[in-house]
């Protein structure tokens, strides 16, 4: 592929602990009761800087979710301190469901930066600074391996992508400096019953990589994972309570080691080059939320119709009105004694209404501009999206690369809920699936964002960033 070739590649890494206090709130499970009681393994902010003709800086946090305004603040502060343009900074999180509260809902409510955001924000800034100031002459190579710790939770035997994309970064003398790996599987081996901080299986995987390649800092980026859970879990069913109970720490460590050892073995065999190109850029694409394709009036009508269906499904009077949390309580009460096949469509009807009711709040409007980012690492292309992408979204991106290496990075630069592929919306029973009921945007949103990413990639390949 044509385009400018990197000269004098430099790279640096940073890793800073996140000070998550005991007794603090945890994030990841609505069913969790209680606050953090312990620390099973440390939480970090990790950063990788790569610079040559262009540059990029990737930051990954051992937390569950970061709000888009907070991600934008982080990128802007990193740009101020390092000189790397914010458009070239990818701020991601590994999505562990055993991490600290980050201030997500305060951001959605329009509040100022809450105190709970301080620890992860400070750690991320420091990690980015360390990576930038510590950059040394380097070499970069890309490879792939497979991991099979996950399975599709939406459909039995459904789509799965076992590929793990790996970027190996060496110092000029060939000594390992960093290993970035991307894979699509929820970090949810541990469940809502766990009250110890943990980076879940990615933490264990990174420890295994670093043990096998001394001197390397391992960074995990979450791939297209939205409908993939660890194989320790079963299908996700709206009508079954308590499905977020987790496994023991030993099981989490075992699954993480399985991934980490595969990554380390593949990384050790990847050739590296000082001439590998590096580039990154971001853009925004306007995407309407559910029901808003034809504007505000149409969205109001669609929402009213969804509300009517929800009231009918739960046998509630037309005048019933409640907040979102109260709605969830009523859903549980009205369906608790029903057979699963009878409960499921009723729950789905009510959840669809709540999805559409809250979508503008999560998105920041009826048709917001959604961030799209592309990062080039050698011959690999990462597509960063501020959503949880399903497997089919990731596979669609890979098809567009025409055989080149690449991956979707989910929850990049914030979180706007789920991003199913149009295929996911079209399958039988889609309206009763969690991923569709946790989506924010119209059914063809993934196609719109993939198209935008493809255009951005073309521009970067031509040196137009």
Strand partners, 405: 380
How does pLDDT run across 29-43, given as a tens digit for each residue?
Answer: 999 999 999 999 999
Identify the burial level of 315 via C-beta atoms within 10 angstroms of its C-beta, where 0-12 means exposed, 13-18 middle and 19 or more buried. Answer: exposed
In 10 A of CB 235, how many CB atoms? 15
Element (H or E) spanning 167, and its range?
A: strand 163-171
Nearest residue to 456 (alpha-carbon basis) of 92, 91, 88:
88
Structure tokens at 101: 């509260």
Q: Which band of pLDDT confidence, cut at 50, 70 and 90, is reported for residue 108?
A: confident
DSSP codes joined into one string, 93-149: E---TTEE--SHHHHHTTPPPPGGGHHHHHHHHHHHHHHHHT-EEEEEEEEEEE---
CA gap 161, 103 in Å, rounded? 32
DSSP codes joined into one string, 218-261: EEEEE-S-TTEEETTS----TT-TTTT----HHHHHHHHHHHHH
SS3 helix, strand, coil % of the chain, rounded to 5? 35, 25, 40
Q: Which band of pLDDT confidence, cut at 50, 70 and 90, is reported for residue 109?
A: confident
How does pLDDT run across 210-233, given as a tens digit for each residue?
Answer: 999 999 999 999 999 999 999 999
Please provide residue 418's backbone torsions phi and psi, each rounded to the nearest 5 degrees: -95, 155
Per-residue pLDDT, 1:
36
Q: Which band of pLDDT confidence, cut at 50, 70 and 90, is reported for residue 5?
A: very low
Per-residue pLDDT, 7:
58
Q: Which band of pLDDT confidence, cut at 50, 70 and 90, is reported for residue 465?
A: low
Structure tokens at 54: 């262009």
Q: Which band of pLDDT confidence, cut at 50, 70 and 90, is reported for residue 111?
A: confident
What residues contact residue 326 under an 8 Å CB cut-off, 6+ apart?
Answer: none
Region 240-260: what's the mean pLDDT?
A: 96
CA dihedral sign of residues 154, 155, 157, 163: negative
Structure tokens at 265: 């073995």
What residues contact residue 247 under an 8 Å CB cut-off, 6+ apart?
Answer: 189, 190, 191, 230, 232
Q: Which band of pLDDT confidence, cut at 50, 70 and 90, is reported for residue 103?
A: very high
Classified as helix, coil or strand, 287 is coil
> CA separation (Å) from 220 to 266, 301, 348?
15, 43, 34
Domain boundaries, the chain: 10-28+36-284+368-461, 296-361
* 49 neighbors 132 (Cβ within 8 angstroms): yes
CA gap 41, 38 in Å, rounded? 9
Per-residue pLDDT, 112:
86
* 67 neighbors 102 (Cβ within 8 angstroms): yes
State the virtual CA torsion across 130, 136, 140, 146 in degrees, nearest 10.
-40
In 10 A of CB 157, how many CB atoms? 7
Structure tokens at 164: 């793990």
CA gap 97, 147 in Å, rounded? 20
User: Residue 370 has what DSSP assignment?
Assistant: E
Region 78-91: what's the mean pLDDT?
A: 98
First to last CA, the chain: 16
Classified as helix, coil or strand, 150 is strand
Strand partners, 273: 140
* 151 neighbors 228 (Cβ within 8 angstroms): yes
* 41 neighbors 203 (Cβ within 8 angstroms): yes
Q: Calculate the average pLDDT of the chain.
A: 96
Q: Are strands 217-222 and 228-230 parallel, antiparallel or unpaired?
A: unpaired
The answer on pLDDT for 2 being more than 50 is no
How does pLDDT run across 316-333, given as a tens digit for each residue?
Answer: 999 999 999 999 999 999
Nearest residue to 202 (alpha-carbon basis) of 217, 216, 219, 215:
219
* 18 neighbors 120 (Cβ within 8 angstroms): yes
Nearest residue to 283 (alpha-carbon basis) of 86, 127, 25:
86
Nearest residue to 206 (alpha-carbon basis) of 198, 10, 18:
198
Region 193-200: what's the mean pLDDT?
A: 98
How does pLDDT run across 263-279, given as a tens digit for each residue?
Answer: 999 999 999 999 999 99
């Amino acid at each position: 592929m044509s385009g400018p070739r990197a000269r004098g590649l430099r790279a640096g890494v940073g890793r800073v602990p996140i000070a998550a206090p005991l007794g603090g709130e945890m994030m990841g499970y609505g069913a969790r009761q209680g606050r953090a009681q312990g620390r099973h393994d440390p939480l970090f902010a990790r950063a990788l800087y790569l610079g040559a003709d262009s540059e990029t800086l990737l930051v990954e946090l051992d937390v569950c979710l970061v709000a888009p305004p907070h991600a934008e603040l982080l990128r802007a502060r990193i740009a101020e301190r390092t000189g790397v343009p914010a458009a070239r900074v990818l701020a991601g999180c590994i999505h562990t469901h055993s991490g600290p509260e980050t201030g997500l809902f305060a951001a959605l409510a329009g509040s100022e930066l809450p105190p709970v955001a301080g620890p992860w924000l400070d750690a991320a800034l420091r990690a980015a600074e360390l990576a930038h100031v510590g950059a040394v002459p380097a070499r970069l190579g890309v490879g792939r391996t497979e991991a099979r710790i996950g399975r599709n939770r939406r459909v039995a035997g459904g789509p799965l992508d076992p590929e793990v994309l790996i970027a190996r970064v060496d110092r000029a003398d060939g000594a390992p400096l960093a290993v970035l790996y991307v894979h699509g599987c929820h970090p949810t081996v541990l469940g809502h019953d766990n009250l110890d901080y943990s980076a879940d299986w990615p933490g264990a995987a990174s420890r295994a990589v670093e043990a096998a390649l001394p001197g390397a800092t391992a960074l995990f980026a979450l791939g297209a994972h939205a409908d993939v859970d660890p194989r320790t879990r079963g299908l996700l069913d709206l009508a079954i309570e308590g499905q977020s109970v987790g496994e023991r720490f030993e099981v989490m460590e075992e699954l993480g080691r399985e991934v980490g050892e595969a990554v380390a073995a593949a990384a050790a065999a990847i050739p590296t080059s000082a001439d590998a190109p590096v580039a990154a850029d971001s853009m925004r694409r306007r995407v309407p939320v559910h029901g808003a394709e034809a504007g505000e009036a149409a969205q109001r009508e669609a929402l009213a119709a969804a509300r009517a269906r929800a009231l009918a499904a739960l046998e509630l009077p037309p005048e019933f009105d409640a907040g979102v949390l109260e709605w969830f309580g009523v859903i549980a009460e009205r369906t608790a004694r029903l057979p699963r096949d009878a409960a499921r469509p009723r729950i789905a009807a009510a959840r669809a209404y709540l999805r559409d009711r809250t979508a503008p709040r999560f998105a920041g409007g009826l048709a917001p501009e959604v961030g799209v980012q592309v990062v080039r690492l050698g011959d690999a292309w990462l597509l960063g999206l501020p959503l949880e992408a399903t497997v089919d979204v990731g596979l669609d991106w890979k098809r567009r690369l025409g055989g080149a290496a690449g991956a979707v990075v989910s929850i990049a630069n914030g979180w706007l809920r789920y991003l199913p592929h149009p295929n996911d919306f079209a399958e039988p029973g889609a309206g009763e699936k969690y991923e569709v009921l946790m989506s924010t945007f119209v059914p063809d949103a993934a196609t719109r964002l993939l198209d935008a990413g493809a255009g951005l990639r073309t521009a970067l390949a031509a040196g137009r960033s």
